[in-house]
Structure formats: structure tokens, C-alpha cells
Amino acid sequence: MSTIANQIAALSSAADKPTAYRAVLTSLLSPTAPDSAAPDALPGHLTQLTSTLLNDAEHLTSAVKQTVYEKLLELLEPRAVSYEEQIALVREKLAEILEADEEWSSAARALMAIKFDGGARVVTDEYKLRKYIHIVRLLLEDDDTVTADTYLKRAGALIGPHHDPVDQLMYKMCHARILDANRNFIQASHKYLELSYATVIDAEEKVQLLEKAVTCAVLAGAGPQRSRLLAQLYKDERVQKLPAQYWGMLEKMHLSRILKAHEVKEFVKTLQGHHLAKLADGQTVLDRAVIQHNLLSASLVYANISFQELGRLLSISAADAETLAARMIAEHRLRGRVDQIEGLVHFQSKSVLASWDARVAAMCTRVDDLVGALGAVGAGAQPEAMQVE
């Protein structure tokens, strides 16, 4: 038996396994290795070493395993055609170590380097789907939404109703997070709301999903789509039980009430980093959403308003107020017209009637709830009242 073969055979019984593994790898990597002259010797040793190492790796520390796996890849990758299966297994193990150390992008790159298509080994769609979703999750931990979106699309081309429900759930979760990160807030909110109904998700996570749904609805640009979404969330009894920062903001937006600075400040505390990023005009997404909302709210109170007064109300310049109103009118998100000669924005009264209807409907809902609560209390107190008489 050759020297390297002897070393591999002795790995299982070695007292100091890390040192033994390093010695074998060093021998294989050395240009003066005893077997290097034999063309068929190295492939056999690599297969044997990879199998032995992967079976026995649990006895090594993470740092040693990472070093050994990286050295194994150095040996295997130049001969990737012959060792696709072994390379994939080693890369999966390496990704596990990197993920445990919270090196998200490095773990993702380890999995991305696996050959999924065009190789000699058979790779099932199920395997590819799970790896793609895993890669997306890792990339999202480091906020790499661009690369994550690429792999999400690959997963989307494979996933179907016949796949494991957990895989479908993870795919939808990743999709919602990417929509959120890319500021597609209307779609993201709908996705989060849809996920909050999943039976396999625990109660605490459902609350978090509802909070994200509300956050995205608040951050979305003002307009009919967001109004419908706000109404849907407002009617959801689960949303009414959320912390005051979420429910208070949602209620005011749904009822078209002007938001105050202190209310916005409280809501800011609930936002994630990407929600606070500055836009090209120096505003945050929330700043933009609040200004647009307050403009819509003003349109329900005023028949017309000067650019200067509108700017003061929105805490922006008169010129910016005029530009914003003109853009929202052009995009059919605001009913009205801009009179530059008079320096006024004229609002259409139809919106006032719609707002009045919404407020009356909300008040009726509140009255119904109150009557129901009083009825329950009265039913419990009735027998006692009859005894007193």
C-alpha cells in the first residue's frame, strides 16, 4: 500500500485527527508526493479521502473543518468533471460552517459555485429549488437584493403547487422581502398579509408579518391601490390588536386624517434600515409617503389652497408643493387641477364625498362594536337587576 493510502487508512483511528487530516492534504498537495507519478493514483485517493473526511468530520472543530474543506476543494476542482458529486457535498458542508459563523455572503457563494446544470451528475429540480431558496435567504441576510433576486427568479421557474409546502412558504417569504427591499411596497404588503394566514406559521411570526404588511402599506405611494390596501388591513381584526405605532398610523391613513410630526416620529422607530435610506431628493420613503398622504388629506378638507399654504401644511417649499400636486394629478392619484396664474390647487368635491362616506362607514362600524359590547354586558347583568326589583 502506498504512503498516502496508508495515511488515509489510518485517519479513522488517529488520536489527533486535525493533524492527521492536514498531513494527508499536505501530502496530496505536494508536487513530490510518492503517488504523484502514478496517473491513476490521485483520483482514487481523492475519492477515498473525501468519503472518509465527510463521514468523520463531526469530530473536528469548525475552524479545522473549514480549512480541510477548502483544501479539499483545491484538490478536487481542477478535476471537477470527475468529482462533481464530491465537490457539491464539500461545498454544502463548507456553507454550513460559514452560515453558522454568520458569514452570509461567503456561505451563499459556496453554494452558488455548485454546478446545477450541464454536468455529468443528475441534479433534480427539487434539489435545485431548495439550494436556490437557501442562497436567496443567505444573500438577503447581507442585503444583497440584486443577486438574491436573480436566484429567486431561478427558483420561481421551478416551483409549483406540487412542491413541499415549506419550500413554497420559504419562496413566498423571500419574494416578499425582496419586494420590500426594492420598494415595491404595495405588492410586498399583499405578500406579507397572504403569508400571515399560513397555518404552518406560529402566532408570533404572524404578528411580525402583519406588522410588515402595515409598514409597507404606510410606505407605499398614495393612490387608489394603497387606499384599497389600507381598507383591507383596517378591517382585519388581527391588525387592530397590533402595537399603537402600527394601528394608529394605519387608522389615520385609512380615515384620511393629517399625520402629525410626533406620530411619524414614533412610527420611524419601527422601521428597518432600508426603509430609512435617502432618495434622490434627500427624503426618506416615509417622508415621501407622509407628504403625499397629507396632501390627499388636505384635498378632503379644502376646496382650494394656495401653493404657499400647502407647502406650509406639508412642511415643504411652495414650489415643491406645486410640483407634487401637479404630478399626483397627472398620475390620477389626486383629483383636482393646478392654477399657476392664481397660485392655487383646486380639489374636486367628489373626493370630499368619498371621504365623508368612508368616515360614516367607519363610525357605523364603531357603533356596531359598541352596541355588541354593551349587549354582552347587559345580558350578564340582567338576572341580578331583576332580583333587585
Average pLDDT (199-211) is: 94
Which one is predicted more confidently, 312 or 234? 234
Q: Is the pLDDT of residue 350 over 60?
A: no
Question: Where do we find the cell 478536487?
Answer: 76
- Write the pLDDT tens digit of every residue in 143-165: 899 999 999 999 999 998 888 88
Looking at this protein, which amino acid is placed at residue 357?
A: D
Q: Rounded to the nearest 5°, which phi and psi values hold at 136?
A: -60, -45
End-to-end CA separation in angstroms for the chain: 106
| Range picked from 6-20, 198-212, 276-290 for highest mean pLDDT | 198-212
Instruction: Name the percent of the chain lying above pLDDT 70.
Output: 77
Q: Is the pLDDT of residue 220 over 70?
A: yes
pLDDT tens readout for residues 367-387: 777 777 776 666 555 444 434
Scored b (16 or more CB within 10 A) or e, 201-228 reads eeeeebbebbbbbbbbbbbbbbbeebbe
Task: Please give the sequence-ordered ranges of beta strands (E in DSSP) within the chain, or none if there are none.
Answer: 304-306, 336-339, 344-347
Task: Name the pTM for this structure.
Answer: 0.73
Question: What does the alpha-carbon distance between residue 387 and residue 116 come to, in Å, rounded to a whole number?
Answer: 80
Instruction: Provide the residue count of the chain.
Output: 389
Task: Identify the CA nearest to 193 among candidates 204, 178, 208.
Answer: 208
- Rounded to an integer, what distance in angstroms lies between the CA atom of residue 96 and that of residue 85? 17
Average pLDDT value for residue range 127-143: 95
